[in-house]
Amino acid sequence: MQAPNDLALENWHDFEIGSRREIIALLRNIRDKNQLIRMLIQGDSDVCVTSILDVDPDTDSVILDRSINREQNERIVRAQRVSFETSLDKIRILFASDDISETSFQNGAALKMALPSTMIRLQRREFYRMATPVSNPVRAVVPMPEEMGGGTAIFPLSDISCGGIAILDNKLVLGNTIGANYENVRVDLPEIGTVTTTLQVRNSVDLTLLNNKTNRRLGCSFVNISRANLAMVQRYITKLERERNARLAGLG
């Protein structure tokens, strides 16, 4: 399972929990079920396992178990940002903190962090990316801004998830500005329908192909996608999964 880095948290912003009451309830549920939590201090290079000892809404704080390694605890306290990952009832939970300090709890040493302002709650199908088929490609029709010449441009998809899509820009016409929004994008899903939504560029990778040509892969998130459009994306992912499983079973 991939580490919940900052980029991943941004890509899954559609699944954020922002309600303070809901965040407190979720953290208490993690505590009550004694769920272990992976604490990532520097990406995947410095990881320890912790658990929630207490959730105090009066002080807006969360008490965590310390690492058994003293030097690691020092790195946790010094870190500019620490990411957390756990699961609850088969749902993946992600959150982060940029301020962790040492404290005491029930006569023992512990760590304290502020109550997170947001958390990410992901069911499997919400963060699972499916590669789109080459034989029956999915295309995104993007209205181009006037400053980019206007009109529309068509781009093939590399993969799709309920959080967004990755498109291939082999002519490098979209640029690679992180945070750029493209409104009223149409994504034609074969045998399902057309999804219309706003896309926001979240990451960009330039790929060198075997013929030495450059292709750009733009990871884009859906912005305020409607429930009806999201339902079509879910149906299409389910369709791709069924077709893949049939091929693996020798039936496709």
6-126 is a CATH 1.10.1840.10 domain: no
For the chain of 252 residues, list the mean pLDDT of each consecutive stretch of 10. Answer: 44 71 93 91 74 96 92 90 86 89 93 93 66 87 85 92 90 87 94 94 79 82 90 89 77 50
**pLDDT attached to residue 247:** 76
Alpha helices in 99-140 (DSSP H): 124-127
Domain residue ranges of the chain, discontinuous segments joined by +: 6-126, 128-248
Domain 128-248 carries which CATH code?
A: 2.40.10.220
**pLDDT attached to residue 126:** 52
**pLDDT attached to residue 60:** 95
List % helix, strand, coil for the chain (3-state, nearest 5): 25, 40, 35
Please check whether the two domains, 6-126 and 128-248, share a CATH topology.
no
Residue 109 neighbours by CB under 8 Å, 6+ apart: 66, 102, 103
Per-residue H/E/C for 17-54: ECCHHHHHHHHHHHHHCCCCEEEECCCCCCEEEECEEE
**pLDDT attached to residue 138:** 92
pTM for the full predicted model: 0.52
**Residues 99 and 117 sit within 8 Å (Cβ to Cβ):** no
